Amino acid sequence: MTTKTHPVDQQSAIAQLWDQAASGWNEHTPLIRAWLQQATDALISCANIAEGMRVLDVAAGAGDQTLSLADKVGAGGAIVATDISPAILSYAAAHAARGGHRHVEICVADAESLPLDDARFDAAICRLGLMLMPRPDRALSEIRRVLKPDARLAALVFSQIERNPCLAIMMRVACKHAGLPPADPYRPGSLVSLGKPGRLAGMFAEAGFRHVVATRLPAPMILPAVANYMQFVQDSAAPIVAILSRLDPAARARAWAEIEDELRAFSTPDGWSGPNELLLVTGVT
């Protein structure tokens, strides 16, 4: 038997998942910033963000990349940071207020149905959000709708599963311990759902974006020890935490211990280096 989930239930489940992971994701902002620094610089540069622009940040989370955008557009520009989770977005609001960024506006919204007028933005970015959406094609159409003509969208997602072995290990071991069949890594909403070569670029084109370009970006996570990575994923990797949440505490601890054992394979003489690869896809309206 298959159970169909109504889209509204699905979206509120996603919002709840990220509400729960919000404080963890926020607390690990320094680690996330260091891990994604080069990719974020490339994202902002490929979206052609410049001073004075009005920019949409989709699935903004705790707002790390929002603040980089705010600096880039300056006080004469404007950023609208959107996310489906009110809790995680409240951190973005707090960081923007603390940094004196009055030109950052916060908007709780599902990217698949943006409560924003047509043709309002000069550019848009989305960092590690699109792959988590059940219908990223709808999100792309919505983003295109709110962009002005000749504006750019730049999005970062995880690339294919073979190039993200830490994610592969976590998903495999988590499903095994939760008694679930091995999950298709490319199912909608999974961490690498848009990682197959050509998949996201094709979706950009179908949504009407022109001049679509996809670039692979290596993004290893370099940490003092595997224990630091374990802390990060246990606090903030909402999709993995959700799979293991069905286990009792002892069984959950066994699952995490097995994940840690396998991830130790990436220990180096200097610490720990988890391979990751991202895809940066850009398009023009």
Ligand X SMILES: C[S@@+](CC[C@H](N)C(=O)[O-])C[C@H]1O[C@@H](n2cnc3c(N)ncnc32)[C@H](O)[C@@H]1O
144 torsion bin: left (phi>0), alpha (psi -120 to 50), beta (else): alpha
Q: Which residues pair with 81 in a beta bridge?
A: 57, 106
Q: Which residue has the tokens 């260091």?
A: 34
Residue 222, both tokens: 């370099």
User: Does residue 127 touch ligand X according to CB under 6 A?
Assistant: yes
Stretch that binds ligand X, among 105-113, 147-155, 166-174, 200-208 (CB under 6 A): 105-113
Q: Is there binding between residue 112 and ligand X (CB under 6 A)?
A: yes
Alpha helices by DSSP H, listed for the chain, are 7-27, 29-46, 64-73, 86-98, 136-146, 165-177, 199-206, 226-236, 238-244, 249-263
With contacts defined by CB under 6 A, name the span among 79-87, 93-101, 174-182, 226-234 that binds ligand X.
Answer: 79-87
List binders of ligand X among 27-46 (CB under 6 A): 32
Applying CB under 6 A, does 279 fall inside the site for ligand X? no
Q: Binding of ligand X at residue 85 (CB under 6 A)?
A: yes
128 binds ligand X, rule: CB under 6 A: yes
Residue 73 or 132 with smaller CB distance to ligand X? 132
Nearest approach, Cβ of 155 to ligand X (angstroms)? 10
Among 64, 122, 142, 277, binds ligand X (CB under 6 A): 64
61 in contact with ligand X (CB under 6 A): yes
CB of 148 vs ligand X, minimal distance in Å: 21
Q: Tell me how many degrees the CA angle 173-34-78 measures, rounded to the nearest 5.
A: 110
- Please report, as residue ranges, which positions from 246 to 275 form the binding site for ligand X (by CB under 6 A): none
**Binding of ligand X by 110 (CB under 6 A):** yes
Any idea which residue has 């709808």 for tokens?
138
Per rule CB under 6 A, is residue 212 in the interface with ligand X?
Answer: no
Quick one: the chain helix, strand, coil %, rounded to 5?
50, 20, 30
Reduce the DSSP state of residue 81 to 3 states and report it: strand
Task: Give the footprint of ligand X on this chain (CB under 6 A).
Answer: 14, 18, 32, 59-61, 64-65, 83-85, 88, 110-112, 127-129, 132-133
